[in-house]
């Protein structure tokens, strides 16, 4: 079965961050994971330390879902169909105007650092 990663970047509605996080953790993640094909989900908040000063000016939160299916289009169609229904309950605490949602399909196997460590090169 093919594996995919669904990446969703979000922000809360102004003044509703506590409500946003509670809804996302307790309601939304379980709702999404009830869609056939979704295997797991995990949320993140942007870290204080970043590679660039520009980072963090867009999205504050990230959710990463694992999907396993040979019918990705069907899984996404079902996800869209459930959105805003009792199957995937909406919240006004999420800024829906600024959601970034993308599905990625791996093109190579995962590489572990322990498997590629080499002596450090001088600059």
Contacts of 101 (CB under 8 A, 6+ apart): 6, 7, 8, 9
pLDDT > 80? residue 122: no
- Banded model confidence at residue 119, pLDDT cuts 50, 70, 90: confident
- Banded model confidence at residue 55, pLDDT cuts 50, 70, 90: low
- Banded model confidence at residue 54, pLDDT cuts 50, 70, 90: confident
* pLDDT tens digits along 21-41: 999 999 999 999 999 999 999
């Amino acid at each position: 079965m093919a594996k995919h990663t669904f990446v969703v970047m979000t922000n809360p509605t102004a003044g509703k961050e506590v409500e946003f996080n509670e809804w996302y953790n307790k309601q939304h993640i379980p709702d999404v994971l009830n869609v056939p094909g979704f295997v797991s989900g995990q949320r993140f908040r942007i870290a204080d330390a970043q590679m660039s000063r520009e980072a963090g000016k867009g999205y504050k939160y990230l959710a990463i879902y694992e999907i396993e299916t040979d019918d990705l289009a069907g899984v996404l169609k079902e996800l869209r169909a459930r959105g805003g229904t009792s199957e995937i309950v909406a919240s006004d605490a999420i800024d829906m105007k600024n959601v970034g949602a993308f599905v990625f399909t791996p093109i190579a196997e995962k590489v572990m650092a322990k498997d590629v460590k080499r002596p450090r090169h001088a600059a």
